[in-house]
Amino acid sequence: MAREMISPADVKFPEVSPINELVRSAELGPPLLPLDRRSFLKCAVMAGAACGLSAFAEPCAALLPWAGGPTQGDAQFTVEAKFYERLHNQKIKCKLCPRECVVGDRERGYCGVRENRGGTYYTLVHSRVCAAHIDPIEKKPLFHYLPGTLAFSLATAGCNVNCKFCQNWDISQVRPEQVRADYAPPKTVAEMAKQNRCPTIAYTYSEPVIFSEYLMDTADAGHEAGVRSVVVSNGYMQTESLKAAYGKMDAVKIDLKAFSESYYRDVVGGELKPVLDCLVTLRKLAKWTEIVYLVVPTLNDSDSEFRGLVRWIKTNLGVDVPVHFTQFHPQYLLKNLPFTPVPTLERAKAMADAEGLHYVYIGNVPGHPAQNTYCPKCRHLLVERVGLTTSQMLIRKGSCPFCKQPIPGMWHA
């Protein structure tokens, strides 16, 4: 059934929320209905104007409008961290990610958002939202999770790696006091998601690993209000923190940035193995998971790496996990490299298809047929996407209507 596109004027904002103006100006996602060429271009232009970038890229948080001036002090954002171990001489060892930073009194770990105060470790970004948008869920990208719906998307400052291609480096590679932010406690976020007709809260833009406490509390508040949660993450976590934090998620998208330790070391500033372990753990937890592999020319685009990647996925995760081979756009410290050629993405997809993976997509290439979902058995088109729009969704009760093949995912709320 066709429905009208929601415009910013239709959004209901609670008067008491200081995060109002962050979201008031955000264009909402396009509708779940077939689009003609003129309507599609209008949606693309509106989305591009809303974020100051291509309509098909994640927004740059620095371009957001702000509700007011810089926040005063950090007391309202300071909460004791959940994942750390106390050591001697008031030192602590962080147990959130594989770095296991040993932090002295009045010092911070690698991510810059956690501080040791007298032997007690604190997060400084609880409810400290520096970026917020209302996005189509397809933008995350999550293709097998409630297609055609909206996600109330937010972030705090900070990250536990330093990708040279980072699109949102202006919030991920800074300390929280270096960017303006608003106080958005978990219940407020849940209420705003409901009021703006978003069935999902998405933790994204920067790296949700580093604001795990806020993510966990907001997911709990959302579930109490009937709102789900999804996370867009690098997966660079320890197993116990992963189970505790992402165990509360309804779906997870992991950026598997390469399939070589050298790439993770030299380009990402992290490690591959913990990310692979994360994916295996998510499978054991039965969390709906999709994988994005950003294909960077000359750095992670060899046939051997593609082949190793898809074989590992098939062996360890199965053939039904969606894999998105995504086009690289020159950003941050890799502006010297070109856009990923489409034939390179098609070569990666062909290898994954040949290996037997069922749901292999090409991302950041508007109009490419590999943005659609097809039945792996009868090959009928089941979900048609135009840009960030799901224009047709034929899956019924989790199955192909033509041959009754089960299609894994979360298709209806």
Question: 45-96, pLDDT tens digit by residue?
Answer: 334 433 333 333 333 333 233 333 344 468 999 999 999 999 999 999 999 9
Does 24 score more than 80 pLDDT? no
Closest CA to 216 of 229, 227, 226: 229
Question: What mean pLDDT comes out for the span 312-319?
Answer: 98
pLDDT grade for 34, boundaries at 50, 70 and 90: very low
Q: What is the pLDDT of residues 228-253, one digit of tens each?
A: 999 999 999 999 999 999 999 999 99
Handedness of CA 210, 216, 218, 219 (dihedral sign): positive
What residue ranges define each of the domains in the chain, with the CATH number in brackets?
Answer: 19-68+127-393 (3.20.20.70), 79-123 (no CATH)
Beta bridge partners of 389: 386
What is the Cα–Cα distance from 63 to 35, expressed in whole angstroms? 28
Instruction: Please return the burial class of 72, using the count of CB atoms within 10 Å of its CB with bins 0-12, 13-18 and 19+.
Output: exposed
Farthest-apart Cα atoms in the chain, separation: 67
Give Cβ neighbours of residue 277 (< 8 Å, ≥ 6 apart).
239
CB atoms within 10 A of CB 275: 24
- Provide the pLDDT for residue 60: 33
Cα(383)–Cα(21) distance, rounded to whole angstroms? Answer: 34
State the pLDDT at residue 412.
87
Alpha helices in 88-177 (DSSP H): 169-172
Write the pLDDT tens digit of every residue in 363-382. 999 999 999 999 999 999 99
In angstroms and rounded to an integer, the radius of gyration of the C-alpha atoms of the chain is: 21
Whole-structure pTM value: 0.85
As a whole number of angstroms, the distance between CA 270 and CA 160 comes to 8
> Angle formed by the axes of helices 212-224 and 239-246, to 10°?
30
Helix or strand or coil: residue 345?
Answer: helix
Is there a contact between 141 and 373 (Cβ–Cβ < 8 Å)?
no
Q: Which pLDDT value is given to residue 16?
A: 36
pLDDT above 60 for 209: yes
